[in-house]
């Protein structure tokens, strides 16, 4: 029966024999995933109900009801009471009066929105932009001025009631009147009675009318 090597007395190793030291394996720090910075979350666009295709050409006034996407050509005037998307292939030569619009194509005209205007990277705008909120992405081209309007503040100031102008207090004046003397008695007073009986009073007002019974 074979036995393993025996340790010498006292627990000491033999001369020339190296001691083995077992060290724990180094722990590695967890790697951090380096992901590119994400752009801020964009507001979701409503579902499109109307699409004007690339082959469509509109000349005159175009009125859009509901969320609309434009891929064709429009010249004249454009009115939209809801969300409007001007895609990359669109070419608009008109003034826009909309609620909210995202521009990816070419627009030559003024844009006025009651809520928001977004110019994305491929947008090309020649004209002025006016809206409560305007967002312009890197790469978008624009030639014109931007006017940030605040409808809420304007409406609040216009809705504030104005104080009435100061008017001096004028005391109420009653119409002046003159009391005429009693008319002379037509008959002589009987003996033992007063020399004159009271008669109804006649009052003359400024309007010239006479009223009795006072």
Chunked into runs of 10 residues, the chain (214 residues) has average pLDDT values of 52 54 60 54 70 90 92 94 94 95 96 96 96 94 91 47 58 58 55 52 51 50
* Structural domain boundaries enclosing 110: 50-152
- The pTM score is 0.52
For position 49, what pLDDT does the model report? 81
How many whole angstroms separate alpha carbon 167 and alpha carbon 4?
121
Number of domains forming the structure of the chain: 1
* Domain annotation covers residue 83: yes
40 in any annotated domain: no
105 occurs within a structural domain: yes
Inside any domain, residue 173: no
What pLDDT digit, counting tens, does each position of 72-108 carry?
999 999 999 999 999 999 999 999 999 999 999 999 9
Task: Note whether residue 116 is domain-resident.
Answer: yes
DSSP secondary structure of the chain: ---PPPPPTTSPPPTTPPPP---PPPPPPPPPP-PPPPPPPPPPPPPP-EEE-TT-EEEEEEEE-SSEEE-SEEEEEEEESSEEEE-TT-EEEEEEEEEEEEE-SEEES-EEEEEEEEE-TT-EEES-EEESEEEE-TT-EEES-EEE--HHHHHHHHHSPPPPPP-------PPP-EEPPPPPPSSPPPTTS-S------EEE-TTS-EEE--
Does 198 reside within a domain? no
Q: Does residue 33 lie in a domain region?
A: no
In a domain, 102, yes or no: yes
Per the structure block, which two tokens stand in for 33?
């995933």
Buried b or exposed e, range 130-166, using 16+ CB within 10 angstroms: bbeebebeeebebeeeeeeeeeeeeeeeeeeeeeeee
């Amino acid at each position: 029966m074979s036995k393993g090597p025996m340790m010498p007395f006292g627990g000491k190793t033999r001369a020339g024999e190296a001691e083995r030291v077992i060290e724990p394996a180094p722990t590695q720090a967890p790697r951090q995933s380096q992901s590119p910075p994400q752009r801020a979350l964009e507001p979701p666009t409503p579902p499109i109900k109307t699409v004007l295709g690339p082959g469509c050409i509109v000349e005159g006034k175009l009125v859009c009801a509901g969320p609309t996407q434009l891929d064709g050509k429009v010249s004249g005037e454009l009115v939209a009471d809801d969300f409007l998307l001007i895609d990359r292939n669109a070419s608009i030569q008109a003034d826009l009066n909309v609620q909210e619009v995202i521009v990816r194509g070419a627009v030559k005209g003024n844009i006025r929105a009651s809520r928001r205007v977004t110019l994305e990277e491929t947008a090309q705008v020649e004209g002025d932009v006016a809206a409560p909120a305007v967002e312009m992405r890197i790469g978008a081209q624009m030639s014109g001025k931007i006017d940030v309007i605040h409808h809420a503040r304007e409406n609040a100031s216009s809705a504030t009631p104005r104080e009435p102008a100061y008017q001096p207090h004028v005391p109420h004046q009653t119409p002046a009147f003159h009391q005429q003397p009693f008319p002379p008695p037509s008959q002589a007073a009987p003996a033992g009675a007063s020399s004159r009986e009271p008669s109804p009073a006649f009052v003359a007002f400024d309007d010239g009318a006479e009223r009795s019974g006072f």
